[in-house]
Structure 1
């Protein structure tokens, strides 16, 4: 096994050695005051994850690649968010992070730097804007509650219409429902409740009594004075 000895010639003071880390570097972007597209003033900060892929270019092409990357991130952050509305900033943060990463990575490519991710950390809104967002959220919740209530009433009315149609086809079902309601009221309340009983409950009984009365022949009764009624004349046979 051969041993390889690496010798680096340094001509001082012409040459000097500079160490460059090839690991991923985390760089905090200080808070920036930004005015969004819809004229809302916000303060936000971000964090950048990048690494040096070409050490020679990172040293030769730029004086201080850390400071240059930080300044580039700040200006790009203000530029991109200045063209974004506040609602989009709050709702589509992943999309904004992707745009920031793409722009910073493209501009820092000449410095031998590769940007892996850019994340917007905190978005500080003014107090009046926070109150407006809270009122908007409350109004949205009230709207959803009213819509749900209206849908429930619509479904209930449809079911009631179906029940009325079914009960209307069967008259006896109305009476059964009436008796069930009376039973429920009697079980829940201890007070005395008077309900009129509909004649429809006795319609079947009255009909049977009327049929029996019509089937029997009429009978003669005694006079009020007590005298017997005259006997019916007997029928006689006539000879042909």
Structure 2
């Protein structure tokens, strides 16, 4: 009799141990347990810790409540200004209602992924290229609202959405590089022109100051000589300003101007110095005078 009681007690104890082992469940701190009894939701999700279910009647499904990092595959689209780009993003979300995440949607991870891809393509089509490159904070907020609206009914909360990278075609990259280079060159020219304008104003003021005191120009010339000679060149090119010559001219008194002299008489030949003779009658050729010896011989 005693042996039969011991056997029955051992059998009951073994059955109890098997039942406890089959019914025992452990829910971790970052999880919640959704219990279904014969396919029907039973109350609120089970809290973390040890819990029991009826084997064969109840089923416990654990739902992770941690923040999930979901990468969104790169989506290719055309922006509002007709530029083809590839944009990829990342979505941070978490489950806030374990029962809704299990009942209202088949696979909340897949649903959030598909909604993120669709919303990202929509954002690309509504935005300009400049907004995708420089105004990402506003686009992130808009993308978060687009994904979070349907996810509320799934028991999922979108924590944050970030656009990671925007890939542009090589031709567009070269065009943007040329545009940036041209803009920088324009700014450099404007800065150089402004510098030249300021330098010209300062030089004009210095020239006016030196015009009042010409000795300052000579001192400046000597400073230039010292600066050039410091380089120890074999050849020294020294500019000589015209203003220094004018200063030297003003330093010496001017000589009085002399009256212009009468032009000297021109030298004349003996024939030109003879007095003019009386006019000869027409048809008669004047005979030139003969030497004295010839005249005397004819007379004899």
Query: So what's the TM-score if we normalise by structure 2?
Result: 0.60
Instruction: Within 5 Å, give how 1:205-220 maps onto structure 2.
Output: none
Instruction: Within 5 Å, give how 1:118-133 maps onto structure 2.
Output: 118-133=161-176
Render the CA deviation track for 1:107-151: whole Å, top value 9, x for unaligned. 211111111111111222112111111111211221121122112
- Which one has the largest radius of gyration? 2
- Counterpart in the other structure of 1:22: 65
Q: How big is the shift at 1:87?
A: 1.3
Q: Which has the higher contact order (CA 8 A, sep 6+)?
A: 1
Q: What SS is found at the alignment partner of 1:198? A: helix
Q: What SS is found at the alignment partner of 1:74? A: helix
- State the alpha-carbon separation in 1 of the partners of residues 135 and 75 from structure 2: 19
Instruction: Within 5 Å, give how 1:60-139 maps onto structure 2.
Output: 60-139=103-182
Q: How big is the shift at 1:93?
A: 1.5
1:171 matched to 2:191: no
8 Å CA contact 2:98, 2:155 repeated in 1: yes
- State the alpha-carbon separation in 1 of the partners of residues 67 and 122 from structure 2: 25
Render the CA deviation track for 1:15-64: whole Å, top value 9, x for unaligned. 53211111100111111111111111111211111100111111111111
Instruction: Within 5 Å, give how 1:156-195 maps onto structure 2.
Output: 156-188=199-231, 189-191=233-235, 195=240
**What is the root-mean-square deviation in Å for CA atoms of aligned residues?**
2.6
- Counterpart in the other structure of 2:33: none
Long gaps (5+) in structure 2: 1-48, 254-300
1:144 matched to 2:187: yes
Greater fraction of residues in strand: 2
Number of residue pairs aligned between Structure 1 and Structure 2? 201
8 Å CA contact 1:24, 1:49 repeated in 2: yes
- State the alpha-carbon separation in 2 of the partners of residues 199 and 86 from structure 1: 66
- Counterpart in the other structure of 1:221: none
Q: How big is the shift at 1:102?
A: 2.3
Q: What SS is found at the alignment partner of 1:17? A: strand
Query: CA distance change for structure 1 residues 199 and 157 in 2, over 3 Å: closer, same or farther?
Result: closer
Render the CA deviation track for 1:139-192: whole Å, top value 9, x for unaligned. 122112112211211221121122122222323212222333344445544336
- State the alpha-carbon separation in 2 of the partners of residues 60 and 77 from structure 1: 27
Query: So what's the TM-score if we normalise by structure 1?
Result: 0.74
- State the alpha-carbon separation in 1 of the partners of residues 66 and 114 from structure 2: 21
Query: CA distance change for structure 1 residues 38 and 9 in 2, over 3 Å: closer, same or farther?
Result: same
Q: What SS is found at the alignment partner of 1:39? A: coil
Long gaps (5+) in structure 1: 208-240
